[in-house]
Amino acid sequence: MMGSSFQLNRKVHPKTVGISVSPSTQDLPTHLKYPEFGGTGKDPIWKMNANNLGSDLVHVPDKLGHGTIQAARSMSFEDYQKSFSRNTN
């Protein structure tokens, strides 16, 4: 969820919020994994290479098996979304 400052100015900033990520499908909770990965999830998941995020995104690990992909610089939400579309498979 994006914070209140995002809702006011539609900007994302480094070291604030990000998209929740997991290094592998094995680390996902059962309710988020697709059945072919041993889960019950129905929402889409995407694969990204955390070592090749480009200059606009940064991977921030926060605990074992979890992290966030955050903006590397202040940018519009639209630019943040475009950065993801360049990095998903």
CB 84, CB 57: distance < 8 Å: yes
CB 58, CB 69: distance < 8 Å: yes
CA atoms in the 13 A half-sphere facing the CB of 6:
16
pTM: 0.74
Express each pLDDT in 14-39 by its tens digit.
988 888 888 888 888 899 888 988 89
Domain ranges, ordered by start, for the chain: 4-85
Express each pLDDT in 41-81 by its tens digit.
998 887 787 778 889 999 999 888 889 899 999 999 889 98
